[in-house]
Amino acid sequence: MIDKNSPIPIYHQLEEYIKAQIDNGDLQPDEAIPSERVYADMFQISRMTIRQALTNLVNDGYLYRQKGKGTFVNKKKVEQRLQGLTSFTEDMKERGLTPGSRLVSFEIIPSGREIAERLKLNENTPVYEIKRVRLADNVPMALETTYLPANLVKGLTEEIINQSLYQYIEEKLSLTIHEATQQIEASIAKEQELRLLEIEKGSPVLLILRTSHLKDGTPFEFVKSAYRADRYKFVHTMQRG
């Protein structure tokens, strides 16, 4: 288990030990992990070493701390494959999670320079601006701000955007969603993101910009989103030759 003669640092061995326990179900999501003293007695290692391992596991999203209560096992991160073009609703359902949205704001605004450029519109063309917290089993996963040309994606209502936007576009508007380009970068959550995603100051998020097109090449949405880095990971398969 822990080999003090190994060249692998002890804190790292402890991390691997705890990760294996999470993987094989000995430690369950939301279960409190044993106290530092238990690990210290069990492996005859120092509290500082244990603290370092636990901090690393918190930073990597395997564990979370609750003030005054202890350290707990996190739920597994949601894996999103980067192959198909899917909606949030589809992604969550595929994983057996219940998708949901909390509407933050919904209005029609004249497109500024950035949005006009992304959607290939003239500046000041009316666009919907929709801000939604996306939920999985009622837990905030991402904050999404979506821009859609109002005269293309017509007739949006609160009721529609509380459900699936993609479903409405395809089934009600009979438009064919075809492809998207997306960029992902790391960031620290900003004030509004902290509040709406219910995460602590200093938490990492994955910022994603996506522009999506219809079959005829028309851009129909530009989306800025902040995904919780402790709950989400993106998986990409690559081929050579």
Q: Which residues bind to ligand 16G, rule: CB under 6 A?
A: 87-89, 144, 146, 164-167, 208, 210, 221, 223, 225
Q: How far is the CB of 81 from ligand 16G (least distance, A)?
A: 11
Q: How far is the CB of 154 from ligand 16G (least distance, A)?
A: 16
Q: How far is the CB of 130 from ligand 16G (least distance, A)?
A: 9
Q: How far apart are CA 135 and CA 139, in angstroms?
A: 5
Cβ distance to ligand 16G smaller for residue 10 or 208: 208
Cβ distance to ligand 16G smaller for residue 43 or 234: 234
Q: How far apart are CA 33 and CA 56, in angstroms?
A: 14
Cβ distance to ligand 16G smaller for residue 57 or 141: 141
Q: How far is the CB of 125 from ligand 16G (least distance, A)?
A: 19
Residue the block writes with tokens 């994603």: 208
Cβ-proximal residues to 2 (8 Å cutoff; 6+ apart), any chain: 10, 13, 14, 17, 43, 45
Cβ distance to ligand 16G smaller for residue 62 or 166: 166
Cβ distance to ligand 16G smaller for residue 17 or 106: 106
Cβ-proximal residues to 91 (8 Å cutoff; 6+ apart), any chain: 78, 80, 99
Pair 128, 156: CB distance under 8 Å: yes
Based on C-alpha coordinates, what's the Rg of the chain? 22
Residue the block writes with tokens 């089993």: 137
Q: How far apart are CA 190 and CA 143, in angstroms?
A: 11
Q: How far is the CB of 191 from ligand 16G (least distance, A)?
A: 21
Which two structure tokens, joined as six digits, stand for 137?
A: 């089993």
Q: How far is the CB of 12 from ligand 16G (least distance, A)?
A: 33
Task: Report residue 54 CA to chain centroid gap.
Answer: 22
Q: Which of 205, 131, 114, 214 is nearest to 169 (CA)?
A: 214
Cβ distance to ligand 16G smaller for residue 167 or 181: 167
Task: Report residue 42 CA to chain centroid gap.
Answer: 36
Q: How far is the CB of 37 from ligand 16G (least distance, A)?
A: 43
Cβ distance to ligand 16G smaller for residue 7 or 217: 217
Q: Which DSSP letter does residue 196 get? A: H
